[in-house]
Amino acid sequence: MAQLSTKIKLYCEANSKVADFSNNVILQDDSDGKGAYIKTWSVDGLTKPTDSQIASYETAGNTEESNNSVRATRKSAYGDIGDQLDEIYKDIDAWKARIKSVKDANPKS
């Protein structure tokens, strides 16, 4: 199940807005088993989403979170950018093969 923050981020992006979770969107979880909810909403020019609007982003949210995990895994496997540039300088074909193997092992949705 996608995180509420991910679904809100996607909702805002779909409406050409940005969710700033430290200023204009504040989430809260009261640890009562009901999960997180929107405590404060002040996204300029965008009304607070309804529960059904948030729910409509479940599939996209799951894909986004899965792809974020893949991106993090790839970034770690690619290694330091300086080392990559050195590898490209020394042997670009070996670098291409290594990067392709990382991407093949960690496909995006």
pLDDT tens per residue, range 68-103: 999 999 999 999 999 999 999 999 999 999 999 999
pLDDT score of 109: 84
| pLDDT at residue 24, as a whole number | 96
Task: Give the whole-angstrom CA distance, residue 102 versus residue 99.
Answer: 5
Q: Which residue has the higher pLDDT, 109 or 22?
A: 22
Q: Which residues, other chains included, contact 108 with Cβ-Cβ below 8 Å and sequence gap of 6+?
A: 66, 67, 70, 71
> pLDDT digit string (tens) for 18-60?
999 999 999 999 999 999 999 999 999 999 999 999 999 999 9
Cα(19)–Cα(10) distance, integer angstroms: 9
The whole-angstrom separation of Cα 63 and Cα 108 is 9
pTM check: above 0.85: no
pLDDT of res. 93: 96
